[in-house]
Every structure is written in C-alpha cells, then in structure tokens.
Amino acid sequence: MTRKLEEEFNLPHLDDLDNEIQEVVPDTQQQIAEVQEALTISDKINGALAEVRGMEAHDSEMDDIASQAVESYEQLMSLGMNMTDMAAGPVFSNAAAMLKIALEAKD
C-alpha cells in the first residue's frame, strides 16, 4: 500500500499491522494448548465412564417401577370412585402419590 492510500483511508501503516499480528499469535497458541489439554481430560473421563456397567439395568428397573405405580394409581382411583366421599379422600391422596412416584421414576 502507498502512503497516500493509508492517509486517505486513515489506515495504519503496514509495519504496525505486522507487529500486532505477531503479538496475537502467542496468545492463540496458548489458548489452543489449553483447549487440547481440556479435550484430553474429557477423553479420559469418557473412557472411565464407558467402564461403568449396569446403567441399562437401572433404566429398565425404573421403567418397571413407573408401570407398577401407574397400575396402582388406576386401581386406587377405581377403588376411590366406589367409596363414600369421606372415605375416598385418603385413597385419592395415595393415588396421587403413586402418580408422583411414576413420574419421578420416568425422570
């Protein structure tokens, strides 16, 4: 670039830009090193988690608990509908508790 273009467009001198670029490069290299270190740590964590067994069994057990709780909820609701109003309150309360257990087991 010529001096007139630099002056016309209020641009910094080309030598000044080279110095700024050289100052930024070491910072970028340091950030790259930090990211690579974090990735290495996350790879180690992923490797350790792969060895954990029994997570699938836990999911199926929780699904079984949820289905049993829903069945109990339905039974309690039908029982509560066939009772007097005064006696049905605690039955409906327990039915709501079963529904809550089913929801928590699914989560």
pLDDT for 62-106, tens place per residue?
A: 899 999 999 999 999 999 999 988 889 999 999 999 999 999 988
Reported confidence tier of residue 25, pLDDT bands at 50, 70, 90: low
CA 23, distance to chain mean position in Å, is 38
**pLDDT at residue 81, rounded to an integer:** 92
Is residue 75 within 8 A of residue 102, CB to CB? The reply is: no
Q: Which residues contact 7 (CB under 8 A, 6 or more apart)?
A: none
- How many Cα atoms within 13 Å fall on the side-chain side of residue 16? 5
**pLDDT at residue 7, rounded to an integer:** 76
Q: Which of 91, 64, 65, 68 is nearest to 78 (CA)?
A: 91
Q: Which amino acid is at 41?
A: I
Reported confidence tier of residue 18, pLDDT bands at 50, 70, 90: low
Express as a percent the part of the chain with pLDDT over 70.
80
Of 47 and 24, which is predicted with more confidence?
Answer: 47
